[in-house]
Amino acid sequence: MLPRVHRVKKGGKVYRWHRPTRTKLPDDIPESHPDFIAAWAAADAIKGKPQPADPNGTIAAAITMMLGSAHVRAFSAVYKHEVRREADAIRKEYGTAPAAGLREHHITADLAKLEPRRANARLKVWRLICKTAKDRTLMKSDPSAGIRKISIKTDGYAAWSADDVEKFRDRWAIGTVQRACFELVFWTAARTVDAVAIGRQHVGRDGLLVFKQSKTGGRAHVPWTSPLPDYAKGWDRERKAVREAVAALAGDMTFLQTETGRARSIKGLGNVINDAARDAGLENRTAHGLRKARLTMIAECGGSAHAIMAWGGHKTLAEAQRYTQAAEMKRLVLGTEQEQNEVNRPMAAVNRT
């Protein structure tokens, strides 16, 4: 494989860029094809050459300043990738325009071309660009200040149900890559950005798997070989299956290394789980839905908000309490298991007579 190629698999197709220069490479031919090699060589030839400076006062100049700011450099790796993606799109289409001439209607026209979720992501980057341009005196006022994001009514990623989990496990046996990826994400409740980096080095002598969340900076504490908390006493068999599932893939630095010994890409891991779920007959089931399923299980098995916060790596209780509140609403309707047994016992006695 050629070096310095960024590959992203989406919808069964692989999209490729030259990583240092962010040059788009051909998608519809193999990397061994002469045309692909020629395109890669042309992009690689300019690697290391000084790039021409953005013309003073342009939107491109503001973008360069924004990406190099301490504020943006402090973002998580995932968010920086999203910001750069939108910034590159803006630079390509509007980079040569003067920042001082940017107006609100220019930004709203750009957002109107995008679907709502993407438009909101683009608006965040426009705001970063405008703030930087205003701070650096490239513009007198912020034209993005009065633009509101689009309201999207959604419950977010759907949590996997017990039936979903059973169907997936029936389709993908332990020993397959799909099962290993699924089990690690489901057990740890890790986001894909963190799951691709988790390895033996994160397991302490006490048997706890501890890793820092890239998104929030909070630390997740997951029982790997340590005693299970009371609410998870019935999960020991599942945990053994997790360790067995990842054993075949585990390398020196990550539990989910590829056949070539490299860490999996963030999108690659998500695609493995998404594609495998569809193959098992499950639609709209994602890696993040596995995180929600695990945290929901903790709440429904009696785990406190602090327990969810510890396992899920939340920095504040607010998000964790959403799971416990939902579980409590369910208990108020269904009652505890003991209460259900008390209700059913008289009916069982009637049926025996």
Mean pLDDT on 102-116? 95
DSSP classification of residue 150: P
Q: Could you give the residue range(s) of every CATH 1.10.443.10 domain in the chain?
A: 162-337
What sign does the CA torsion over 199, 205, 211, 212 have? negative
> For the whole model, what pTM was predicted?
0.62
Close Cβ partners of 217 (under 8 Å, ≥ 6 residues apart):
315
Write out the two tokens for 82.
């999203």
The third-level CATH classification (topology) of the domain covering 162-337 is hpI Integrase; Chain A (1.10.443)
Residue pLDDT, tens place only, 25-50: 887 788 888 788 888 888 877 766 55
Contact 224, 236 (CB under 8 A): no
User: Closest by alpha carbon to 135, among 82, 90, 69?
Assistant: 69
- CATH class given for the domain over 53-154: mainly alpha
**Residue 87 pLDDT > 90:** yes
Residue pLDDT, tens place only, 187-214: 999 999 899 999 999 999 999 999 998 8
User: Closest by alpha carbon to 145, among 161, 128, 169?
Assistant: 128
Mean pLDDT on 167-183? 96
Q: Could you give the residue range(s) of every CATH 1.10.150.130 domain in the chain?
A: 53-154
Q: What are phi and psi of 324, to 5 degrees?
A: -70, -35
More confident residue, 254 or 261: 254
